[in-house]
């Protein structure tokens, strides 16, 4: 019996571009339990968004699922029909996209947009839609829902739009929310409000969250379990306490140390400047780097994930394995 | 020699649209010393970018005066401003939009020199190549176009363009907010190195408090167009007084899950006062808007009262 609410197993996704096949995500496995916030962290182009889009099967037309399985509450999502997927999207799994401006329809009042999902899934009778929308607006922290209901997206600020997106995402009470960089480009105070909203919803309904981000500060505050992605691979995974206390993979270490911290007086930030990919590829078969250099050491292609301590997995590169076996 | 590079007195910039006057910057006074980095933080719409642009005289201020290097530049016209354009340069927020995709990197870097009529063709090229090296890009980038570079590399080009005229003041307007956290670190380090090497004065605008703390010597907090608090960075982070500054500091995510705190301070957003606040020095070069002093005093008094009850 699979107790995970979402279980992605050995997922590989590739794209066809100019007759070249390029692997964006290779051999990614991840699990989300009920009531858990799982963070997927990595820089742009590491494949974190593609992973989440494949869960909802919203890949762009030239994207292909090569292999793997995605199980949601015991159902294999890859075997569901399009009709069945539509029932799942928004209703059981919903997504908060990064770009609030692009995700809202500019010609529709935000109050009406919020209830689109409810209308589609026929969860609420038509006559109650407006009341439901007002309640949702209040839930995401608007003090005057009746006024906001009548607004168009252009009349709202970035943080307000992001909150509208959250209202939309939680309208059908899904068990899993995928938040794709929900606070990039927002101010710190608003970032905190938005993340708190998602967190409160999670704990109220015992739902789960897949939080996609590139900011380790956000991860430290909200996540329970962390997956670090690099070049289409998961390179390290552990619970949030372990990963901050004992990061093993050089990339994870560099990411954690690159955050400026006002409480420590740092002379210099550690940067991933020396972290250059030798072979990234539109030319080669895969998008993932086959060799890369870090601090002028060269590493070979990744092996499989290894459990270094209980429930702490790292994907080693040849030289690193020695370092860890000593420690 | 005068230690002040920039002195802004009671600076205001208003924008008008159909809904009325919007006071983007209202009654801001500040000084920038030679060789220091002054950080400006505030939420979006608090007027920090407008302030930067007004100091650079891209906007003409409604009220107030600006002195640059001992001379007043408040009311100079376009032609008279031209020599000052050389002295004040800007690094823009989004390197994807602020660099022309049709120019080669060489052309982008040489354009300011060309406009200011500095050097011969050969000299300009030499200078561009030298700056490319300085910001850590290969000399071969000279003939390439912008689309071949990543975000971090583009921002390096943006920095090189700002420095090619050897300015006295660099205004960096959110230079890293469009970049990934991992790339952010290298750009910040580069800026800091160059600043030390060239003895630059810098106005660093950002909404990210931890970045501002890393870069600046003094930090100014803007809120709804007003300057509400200004202090050396250690002092400000240790002893914030204005409720908005406190909320800002409390909102920084702490990169340590062990210290996760479920009972965080609530975010307080005070209403905008009708008039720009007067800044008062409360010691340690810490300036704070005067109406907050009363609150502080009140807090101290009520605390003392409470203490006396226990006695």
Judged against a pLDDT cut of 70, whether residue A279 lies above it is answered with no
Interface touch B255/A271, C-beta < 8 Å: no
Interface touch B189/A269, C-beta < 8 Å: yes
B190 — alpha (psi -120 to 50), left (phi > 0) or beta? alpha
pLDDT of residue A325: 33
pLDDT of residue A252: 82
Give me the residue label for tokens 């920090």. B48
Q: Which of A187, A255, A263 sits opposite B182 (nearest CB)?
A: A255
The closest alpha carbon to A133, from A155, A120, A122, A117, belongs to A117
List strands edge to edge, sheet with B287-289: B88-91, B169-173, B201-205, B37-41, B218-223, B226-232, B287-289, B279-281
User: How far does CA A42 lie from the centroid of its chain?
Assistant: 10
pLDDT of residue B297: 60
Judged against a pLDDT cut of 90, whether residue A322 lies above it is answered with no
Residue B78 host element (H or E):
helix B78-87
**Is residue B41 within 8 Å of residue B206, measured between CB atoms?**
yes
Interface touch A43/B252, C-beta < 8 Å: no
Cα dihedral B104, B105, B109, B110 sign: negative
Asked if B281 is an interface residue toward chain A (Cβ–Cβ < 8 A), one would say no
Min CA distance, A22 vs chain B (Å)? Answer: 19
pLDDT of residue B267: 74
Cα dihedral B149, B154, B156, B157 sign: positive
Min CA distance, A193 vs chain B (Å)? Answer: 9
Interface touch A240/B208, C-beta < 8 Å: no
Cα distance between residue A186 and residue A191, in whole Å: 6
pLDDT of residue B90: 92
**Is residue B215 within 8 Å of residue B204, measured between CB atoms?**
yes
Q: What confidence category does residue A23 fall into, taking pLDDT thresholds of 50, 70 and 90? A: confident
**What average pLDDT does this structure show over B70-87?**
88
Judged against a pLDDT cut of 70, whether residue B302 lies above it is answered with no
Asked if B122 is an interface residue toward chain A (Cβ–Cβ < 8 A), one would say no
Cα distance between residue B83 and residue A83, in whole Å: 66
| Half-sphere exposure of residue B305: CA atoms within 13 angstroms, side-chain side | 6
Q: What is the pLDDT of residues A143-191, one digit of tens each?
A: 889 999 999 998 888 888 888 998 999 998 999 999 988 887 677 778 8
Under 8 Å CB-to-CB from B184, ≥6 apart: which residues?
Answer: A258, B176, B211
Judged against a pLDDT cut of 70, whether residue B306 lies above it is answered with no
Under 8 Å CB-to-CB from A211, ≥6 apart: which residues?
Answer: A37, A38, A39, A40, A179, A182, A198, A218, A219, A222, A223
Judged against a pLDDT cut of 70, whether residue B85 lies above it is answered with yes
Pairing type for strands A208-213 and A176-180 reads parallel
* Nearest residue of B to residue A246, measured between CA atoms: B256
Min CA distance, B254 vs chain A (Å)? Answer: 6
Judged against a pLDDT cut of 80, whether residue A281 lies above it is answered with no
**Exposed e or buried b per residue across A239-269, where buried means at least 16 C-beta atoms within 10 angstroms of its C-beta:** ebebbbeebbbbbbbbbbbbbbbbeeeeeeb
Judged against a pLDDT cut of 70, whether residue A290 lies above it is answered with no
**What average pLDDT does this structure show over A283-300?**
41
Q: What confidence category does residue B295 fall into, taking pLDDT thresholds of 50, 70 and 90? A: low
pLDDT of residue A273: 47
- Does the ipTM surpass 0.85? no
| A123 vs B290: which has the higher pLDDT | A123
Q: What is the pLDDT of residues B253-270, one digit of tens each?
A: 877 777 776 666 677 777
pLDDT of residue A14: 85
Highest mean pLDDT among A197-206, B247-256, B271-280: A197-206
**Is residue B280 within 8 Å of residue B290, measured between CB atoms?**
yes
Asked if A272 is an interface residue toward chain B (Cβ–Cβ < 8 A), one would say yes
Q: Supply A283's token pair.
A: 């030319």
Q: Give the range among A45-54, A75-84, A131-140, B70-79 with minimum mean pLDDT.
A: A45-54
Q: How far is CA A266 from CA A260, A273, A323, B211, B310, in A?
A: 8, 17, 27, 11, 43
Cα distance between residue A306 and residue A248, in whole Å: 11
Asked if A326 is an interface residue toward chain B (Cβ–Cβ < 8 A), one would say no
Interface touch A271/B252, C-beta < 8 Å: no
**Which of B18, B156, B204, B257 to mutate: most A Cβ within 10 Å?**
B257
pLDDT of residue A186: 77
Judged against a pLDDT cut of 70, whether residue A284 lies above it is answered with no
pLDDT of residue A235: 83
Q: Which of A241, A261, A271 sits opposite B189 (nearest CB)?
A: A271
**Exposed e or buried b per residue across B46-59, where buried means at least 16 C-beta atoms within 10 angstroms of its C-beta:** bbbbbbbbbbbbeb
Q: Give the range among A180-189, A194-203, B100-109, B114-123 with minimum mean pLDDT.
A: A180-189
């Amino acid at each position: 019996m699979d107790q995970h609410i979402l279980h992605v197993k050995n997922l590989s996704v590739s794209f066809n571009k100019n007759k070249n096949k390029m692997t964006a995500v290779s051999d990614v496995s991840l699990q989300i339990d009920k009531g858990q916030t799982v963070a997927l962290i990595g820089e742009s182009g590491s494949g974190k968004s593609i992973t989440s889009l494949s869960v909802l099967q919203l890949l762009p037309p030239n994207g292909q699922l090569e292999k793997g399985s995605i199980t949601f509450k015991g159902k294999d999502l890859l075997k569901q029909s399009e009709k069945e997927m539509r029932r799942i999207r928004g209703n059981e799994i919903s997504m908060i996209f990064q770009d609030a401006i692009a995700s809202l329809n500019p010609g529709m009042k935000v109050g009406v947009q919020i209830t689109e999902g409810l209308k589609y899934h026929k969860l609420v009778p038509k006559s109650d839609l407006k009341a439901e929308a007002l309640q949702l607006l209040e839930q995401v922290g608007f003090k005057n829902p009746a006024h906001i209901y009548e607004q168009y997206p252009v009349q709202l600020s970035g943080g307000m739009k992001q909150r509208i997106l959250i209202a939309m995402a939680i309208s059908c009470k899904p068990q899993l929310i995928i938040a794709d960089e929900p606070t990039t480009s927002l101010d710190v105070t608003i970032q905190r409000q938005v993340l708190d909203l998602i967190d409160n919803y999670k704990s109220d309904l015992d739902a789960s969250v897949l939080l996609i981000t590139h900011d380790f500060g956000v991860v430290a505050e909200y996540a329970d379990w962390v997956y670090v992605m690099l070049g289409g691979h998961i390179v390290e995974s552990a619970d949030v306490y372990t990963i901050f206390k004992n990061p093993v993979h050089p990339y994870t270490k560099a990411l954690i140390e690159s955050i400026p911290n006002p409480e420590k007086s740092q002379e210099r930030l550690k940067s991933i400047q020396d972290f250059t990919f030798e072979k990234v590829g539109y030319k080669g078969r895969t998008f993932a780097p086959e060799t890369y250099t870090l601090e002028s050491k060269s590493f070979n292609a990744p092996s499989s994930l290894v459990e270094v301590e209980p429930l702490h997995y790292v994907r080693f590169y040849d030289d690193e394995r020695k370092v860890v076996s000593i420690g | 020699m005068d230690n002040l590079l920039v002195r802004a007195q009671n600076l205001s910039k208003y924008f008008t649209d159909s809904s009325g006057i919007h006071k983007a910057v209202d009654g801001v006074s500040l000084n920038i010393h030679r060789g220091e980095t002054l950080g400006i933080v505030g939420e979006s719409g608090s007027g920090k970018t407008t302030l930067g642009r007004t100091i650079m005289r891209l906007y003409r201020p409604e009220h107030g005066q600006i002195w640059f290097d001992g001379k007043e530049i408040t009311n100079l016209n376009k032609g008279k401003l031209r020599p000052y354009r050389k002295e004040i340069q800007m690094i823009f927020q989004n390197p994807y939009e602020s660099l022309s995709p049709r120019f080669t990197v060489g052309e982008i870097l040489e354009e300011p020199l060309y406009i200011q009529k500095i050097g011969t063709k050969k000299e300009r090229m030499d200078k561009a190549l030298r700056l490319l090296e300085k910001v850590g890009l290969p000399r071969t980038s000279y003939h390439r176009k912008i689309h071949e570079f990543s975000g971090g590399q583009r921002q390096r080009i943006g920095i090189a363009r700002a420095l090619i005229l050897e300015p006295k003041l660099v205004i960096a307007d959110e230079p890293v907010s469009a970049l990934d956290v991992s790339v952010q670190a290298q750009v910040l380090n580069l800026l800091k190195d160059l600043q030390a090497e060239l003895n630059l004065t810098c106005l660093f605008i950002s909404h990210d408090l931890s970045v501002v703390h890393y870069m600046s010597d003094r930090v100014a907090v803007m809120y709804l167009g007003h300057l509400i608090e200004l202090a050396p960075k250690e002092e400000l982070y240790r002893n914030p007084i204005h409720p908005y500054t406190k909320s800002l500091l409390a909102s920084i995510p702490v990169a340590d899950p062990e210290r996760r705190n479920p009972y965080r301070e609530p975010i307080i957003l005070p209403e905008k006062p009708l008039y720009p606040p007067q800044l008062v020095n409360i010691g340690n070069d810490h300036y704070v808007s005067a109406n907050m002093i009363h609150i502080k005093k009140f807090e101290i008094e009520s605390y003392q009262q409470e203490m006396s009850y226990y006695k």
